[in-house]
Amino acid sequence: MNQRLILSSALASALALGLAGPAAAQAKEKEKCYGVAKSGQNDCANLSGSHSCAGQSKADMAADEWKYVTKGTCKDMKGLTETEAKAKLKK
């Protein structure tokens, strides 16, 4: 019985490691895109510092709010890089 527990634990660990690899690879394929998040759908704190959590944006497509998007798609969505967003906020 003890060998079954050890074997099932080892199998579960191996499966978990196999699933963690692709998730980590997906995270590397994302980038922050500013000005594309809809109200309440931002991913974290904004540039202006008015909040520090996800889901707290008050307006659609605010330049200081960001969302993770697939790398290389931000410009297609008419989004901004962090540098461009900061410059837009200074105006």
- CA 45 – CA 82 distance, rounded (Å): 13
Q: Which helix (H) or strand (E) holds 68?
A: strand 66-70
Q: Record the pTM.
A: 0.67
- CA 87 – CA 25 distance, rounded (Å): 31
Could you tell me which residues come within 8 angstroms of residue 36 by beta carbon, excluding any fewer than 6 positions away?
61, 66, 67, 69, 74, 77, 78, 79
In the predicted model, what is the mean pLDDT of the chain? 85
- CA 29 – CA 31 distance, rounded (Å): 7
Taking only the tens place, the pLDDT of each residue in 45-84 is: 999 999 999 999 999 999 999 999 999 999 999 999 999 9
